[in-house]
């Protein structure tokens, strides 16, 4: 029964006393109705998930809690020692997948409700049947939060509640447009309820009264029979979509994800490339190891179409001349040139170069060759950093060796110093399509242990 927001809203929140220890199979709505016979239309019930899990029989034998966490984990977000932050089967990102070894008999663990939104809908319907009231229900669990110390309760399930208050499109008190403000109302309700609840003291349910505008209609009151009321999206709406989640991974997991995403892209979309993203990737490249405390990397950024075409045309002409000297047929030459179009199709090019500033000269062929190899390896490490950082920016790339076969041409066209050695070219852009899955490789096949 939604109402207009009052001009000066105020609310009260109190814990319900008298709810017994919940057992598997118990009807939570009846237990809550018995403890709160004075519940009224527009109230919001804030229910600890632990009693929902117990009523739904989500108590399992588990001598090894870690194994139970593994079973409930879909994706590891971050790991530090034995602590794991994971995405669980309910789509929630939290510590230990929500598997709780407290408030449950020894030798057992408590799993979260299988479908918290469905559990909330069941409690709401049960209270309507028992007391004839239209209420909202929020099921809560305790979370830690990025950037903040301490724990708080948040909504993991909801029914009959506007879980998000979207203020975008409005204005603030000064007339400034609101373009990003979406309030997590259900989480605020969960935290308010937790101030008065006491899980260990037998008070697992709180009642918030005074904000009926947050309660959405029942079916038949503005909603089709059998469907949720208007704006009754459930707490699932609070889970951020992966593509919008800038903090989806922990530090080491993000590095591994970026390395996994680093794939050679052969086809690029026409979308322009953000020069700032490229410069951030170059900054990452400069953290690579190098011999003698040197900085052997230089990166030439071809941001204009004119500079890219001029370079690629000159390289193509040099390549064709080489192929003709090799005795290739014109048909074979044309085929090979077409295969080299990955650079021409990219909206951005980078030419990494090696400089030998700071290198040592020994006057010995073997040692001088090894000295250059050290610098070449360092340049490769810098380019790898660059490619991984580009992947972290959601940019595809392809590192090809073509500039190494016509270094004089590249230096002349790009007006580079004589001691800059082009080390291939990196095509950059948004991939035109998702790369095919990388085949799994057994790391042991590439390792020798002595």
Q: For the segment 13-61, what is each residue's pLDDT rounded down to a tens digit?
A: 999 999 999 999 999 999 999 999 999 999 999 999 999 999 999 998 8
pLDDT above 70 coverage of the chain, percent: 94
pTM exceeding the 0.75 threshold for the entire prediction: no
Closest CA to 102 of 54, 152, 31: 54
E strands, 16-147, in order? 44-48, 59-61, 73-80, 83-88, 93-95, 108-110, 136-145
pLDDT above 90 coverage of the chain, percent: 63
- The first and second tokens of residue 385, run together, are 């950093």
- For the chain, list the domains and their CATH numbers: 12-58+112-244 (3.30.1330.100), 251-446 (3.40.109.10)
Residues 6+ apart with CB under 8 A from 399: 264, 383, 387, 424, 425, 426
Please report the pLDDT score of residue 257 as a whole number.
72
Asked whether the beta carbons of 46 and 208 are under 8 A apart, the reply is: yes
Give the number of other CB atoms < 10 A from CB of residue 261. 18
Q: What are phi and psi of 333, to 5 degrees?
A: -65, -45
Helix or strand holding residue 300 (H, E): strand 297-302
Please report the pLDDT score of residue 357 as a whole number.
92
Range with the poorest average pLDDT among 85-89, 150-154, 210-214, 221-225: 221-225
**Is residue 226 pLDDT above 50, yes or no?**
no
Please report the pLDDT score of residue 29 as a whole number.
97
Asked whether the beta carbons of 410 and 403 are under 8 A apart, the reply is: yes
Please report the pLDDT score of residue 386 as a whole number.
96
Helix or strand holding residue 392 (H, E): helix 365-392
Range with the poorest average pLDDT among 74-83, 123-132, 219-228, 441-450: 219-228
**Residue with token string 């003709």:** 324
**Is residue 155 pLDDT above 50, yes or no?**
yes
Question: Who has greater pLDDT, 349 or 264?
Answer: 349
Question: Who has greater pLDDT, 276 or 83?
Answer: 276
Question: Could you tell me where the DSSP H helices lie in 179-250?
Answer: 185-194
d(CA 423, CA 90): 48
Q: In the beta sheet, which residues pair with residue 78?
A: 85
- The first and second tokens of residue 340, run together, are 């080299």
Mean of pLDDT values over 61-78: 86
Question: Who has greater pLDDT, 441 or 311?
Answer: 311
Residues 6+ apart with CB under 8 A from 165: 182, 183, 185
Going by their DSSP bridges, the two strands 136-145 and 44-48 should be labelled as parallel
Tens digit of each residue's pLDDT (9 = 90 or more) over 266-296: 899 999 999 999 999 999 999 999 999 999 9
Please report the pLDDT score of residue 41 as a whole number.
96
Question: How many Å is the Cα radius of gyration of the chain?
Answer: 31
E strands, 38-132, in order? 44-48, 59-61, 73-80, 83-88, 93-95, 108-110
- The first and second tokens of residue 80, run together, are 């530090």
**Is residue 153 pLDDT above 80, yes or no?**
yes
Asked whether the beta carbons of 136 and 158 are under 8 A apart, the reply is: yes
Please report the pLDDT score of residue 220 as a whole number.
56
Please report the pLDDT score of residue 102 as a whole number.
81
Residues 6+ apart with CB under 8 A from 132: none
d(CA 211, CA 6): 8
Asked whether the beta carbons of 126 and 29 are under 8 A apart, the reply is: yes
d(CA 411, CA 420): 8
Asked whether the beta carbons of 184 and 238 are under 8 A apart, the reply is: yes
Give 162's Cβ-side CA count (13 Å radius): 22
Please report the pLDDT score of residue 225 as a whole number.
41
Task: List C-alpha distances in Å: 223 to 218, 231, 235, 332, 446.
Answer: 7, 10, 19, 68, 61
Crossing angle for the helix pair 305-325 and 407-414, to the nearest 10 degrees: 150
d(CA 426, CA 358): 26
Task: Compute the mean pLDDT over every residue in the chain, rounded to the nearest whole number.
Answer: 89
Provide the greatest CA pair distance for the chain. Answer: 96
* Highest-confidence segment of 342-346, 352-356, 439-443: 352-356
């Amino acid at each position: 029964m939604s109402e207009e927001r009052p001009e000066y809203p105020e609310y009260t929140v109190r814990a319900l006393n008298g709810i017994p220890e919940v057992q598997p199979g118990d009807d939570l709505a009846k237990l809550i109705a018995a403890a709160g016979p004075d519940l009224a239309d527009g109230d919001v019930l804030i229910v600890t998930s632990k009693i929902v899990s117990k009523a739904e029989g989500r108590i399992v034998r588990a001598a090894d809690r870690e194994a139970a966490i593994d079973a409930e984990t879909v994706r590891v977000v971050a790991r530090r020692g034995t602590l794991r932050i994971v995405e669980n089967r309910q789509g929630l990102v939290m510590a230990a997948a929500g598997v709780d070894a407290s408030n449950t008999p020894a030798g057992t663990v408590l799993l979260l409700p299988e479908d918290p939104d469905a559990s909330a809908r069941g409690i709401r319907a049960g209270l309507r049947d028992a007391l004839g009231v239209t209420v909202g229900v929020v099921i809560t669990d305790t979370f830690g939060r990025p950037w903040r110390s301490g724990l708080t309760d948040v909504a993991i399930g909801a029914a009959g509640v506007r879980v998000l208050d979207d203020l975008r499109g409005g204005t603030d008190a000064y007339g400034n447009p609101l373009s990003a403000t979406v309030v997590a109302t259900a989480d605020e309700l969960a935290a308010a309820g937790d101030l008065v609840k006491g899980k260990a003291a037998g008070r697992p349910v709180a009642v918030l009264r005074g904000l009926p505008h947050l309660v959405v209609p029942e079916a038949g009151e503005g909603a089709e029979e059998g469907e949720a009321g208007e704006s009754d999206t459930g707490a699932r709406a609070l889970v951020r979509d992966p593509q919008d989640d800038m903090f989806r991974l922990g530090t080491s997991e993000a590095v591994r994800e970026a390395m996994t995403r680093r794939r050679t892209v052969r086809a690029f979309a026409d979308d322009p490339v953000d020069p700032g993203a490229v410069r951030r990737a170059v900054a990452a490249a400069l953290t690579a190891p190098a011999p003698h405390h040197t900085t052997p990397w230089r990166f030439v950024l071809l941001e204009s179409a004119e500079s890219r075409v001029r370079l690629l045309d000159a390289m193509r002409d040099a390549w064709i001349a080489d192929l003709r000297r090799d005795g290739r047929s014109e048909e074979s030459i044309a085929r090979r040139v077409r295969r080299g179009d990955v650079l021409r199709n990219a909206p951005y090019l980078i030419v990494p170069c090696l400089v030998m500033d700071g290198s040592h000269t020994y006057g010995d062929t073997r040692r001088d060759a090894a000295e250059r190899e050290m610098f070449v390896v360092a340049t490769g490490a810098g380019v790898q950093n660059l490619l991984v950082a580009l992947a972290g920016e959601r940019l595809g790339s392809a590192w090809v060796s073509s500039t190494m076969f016509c270094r004089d041409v590249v230096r002349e066209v790009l007006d580079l110093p004589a001691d800059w050695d082009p080390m291939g070219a990196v095509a950059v852009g948004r991939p035109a399509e998702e790369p095919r899955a990388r085949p799994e490789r057994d790391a042991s096949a590439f390792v020798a242990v002595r």
